[in-house]
Amino acid sequence: MFQREFEILDAVFEGNISEEILKFTIDGHIYIESIAEFKKFCAEATFAFPGLGVSVGDWVNIEIVAEALSQNENIANIHLPFMGDYDAMRVALALQTNKKLTTLDLSDTGIEDPAAIEIAKALQTNNTLTVLDLRGTEVSDLFAIAIGKAMQTKNTLTILDIGYTQVSDIGAIEIAKALQTNNKLRTLDLSQTQISDCGATVIGNMLHINNTLTRLYLCENQVSDPGVTAIIHALQKNSTLTTLDLSGTQVSDPGATEIANALQTNNTLTTLDLSRTQVTDLGAKSISNALKTNNALTMLDLSWTQVSDPGAIAIGNMLQVNNTLMTLNLYGTQVSDPGVLAIGKALQTNNSLTNLNLRSTQVSNPGAIALGNALQTNNTLTTLDLQATQISDLGATAICNALKTNNTLTRLDICGVQVSDLLLFKAISNALQANCMLNDA
């Protein structure tokens, strides 16, 4: 297995490659459909590769898989998509003795609390599992309480995904309590659960103390400004959280203002997702003002919010001085040409933004011409999405002309626009291909 890869690595390291290096060089995914294939894999696997995902089909008896795990076969990353409670309990039993499995993916299965609780209990003694994915399962607060208890012991979990489950504030509170002392977990995904401001407030209190969590996903929850305020207040002193996803929540301008206040002092948050929230131009202005001095945030997502031209103009003014933001998403907003004119002007001098998404906005030819002018001098932007806008031949021609000298833009999406000249499409495509070849050289 992977003989060719081994030969290449052996040549590169002149025969001195260590087992630890080798373990992390294999990255991929394989799907095993039969018992015979699974047994063959176990027999041939030389090492337990953390980057090699092994997905087991429904024709493979889970009892055989559980037995392999209990015997410490070389499996580090496994996905069991066809799993019921009885089978999950057998896997939980195997985890008590297993010393090689690092990732257990049981997402989108029918697992309920009884079996999930057994897995949580096993993790009180298991010291190798780092990733547990129960996304889209039937688990609820009972499991959250059990996993919270497990994380208070000597536990190695670094990623816990229980998004799209029945976990509510009760479970979130227990997990947050555990994270006041837990120093291992790096990623917590509670997307589209039943968490409200009560749970978010306790999570915020936890962030005042916790110094290891780096990514927090709370999208599609019933969290509004009070809950967000509690989390954001913690960010004024928290120095580890880098990603905060509040997309699809009920955050509005007061919450956005609190976020802006935190960004004036916080220097660790790099990714902020406020898409599909109730943020308007007022909130966008507050955040933009904060980003004039913030030197950490690299991704801001305001897609499908109520932001329009006043907010986009404030963003444009910010981009004239900000040299950190790399990705800006305004997809589906009410931004039109005045806002894009301000952003285009900023891009003439901005040297950090690489990805700009204006898909499904009200941009038309004046905005496209402004972007074309910017591309004549800008040497940073690599991706520009103008799909489903009101741009026609005139605006597309301005961008096409800019690509005669611009050699950094490699992806431009103008599907669904009002361009009728097919030769214009071809000229733009040729220019982008040339840029790709140039940047790959």
- Going by the DSSP 8-state scheme, the letter that residue 390 receives in this structure is S
Token pair listed for 390: 């009101």
Report pLDDT for 437.
81
Residue 284 falls inside a structural domain: no
Residue 38 falls inside a structural domain: yes
Q: Angle of helix 225-235 relative to helix 197-207, nearest 10 degrees?
A: 0
Number of domains composing the chain: 1
Secondary structure (3-state) at 213: coil
Spatial neighbors of 40 by CB under 8 A, at least 6 apart, are none
Residue 355 falls inside a structural domain: no
The tens digit of pLDDT for each residue in 290-334 reads 999 999 999 999 999 999 999 999 999 999 999 999 999 999 999
Domain around 116? 25-167
Measured CA to CA, the distance from residue 72 to residue 66 in angstroms comes to 10
Residue 94 falls inside a structural domain: yes
Residue 153 falls inside a structural domain: yes
Residue 118 falls inside a structural domain: yes
CATH number of the CATH domain containing 57 = 3.80.10.10
HSE of 395 in the Cβ direction (CA atoms, 13 Å)?
21
Report pLDDT for 21.
47
Mean pLDDT by 10 residues, the chain (441 residues): 51 52 63 91 80 88 92 91 92 94 95 97 94 98 97 91 98 97 96 98 97 97 97 94 98 97 96 98 98 97 98 98 98 98 97 98 97 96 97 95 94 91 88 84 60
Q: How far is CA 182 from the centre of its chain?
A: 22
Full-model pTM: 0.93
Report pLDDT for 266.
95
Residue 364 falls inside a structural domain: no
Secondary structure (3-state) at 289: helix
N residues, the chain? 441
Secondary structure (3-state) at 300: strand
Spatial neighbors of 422 by CB under 8 A, at least 6 apart, are none
**Dihedral, 111, 81, 44, 11 alpha carbons, nearest 10:** -110
DSSP β-ladder status, 28-32 and 131-133:
unpaired
Report pLDDT for 43.
87
Residue 370 falls inside a structural domain: no
CB 1 within 8 A of CB 27: no
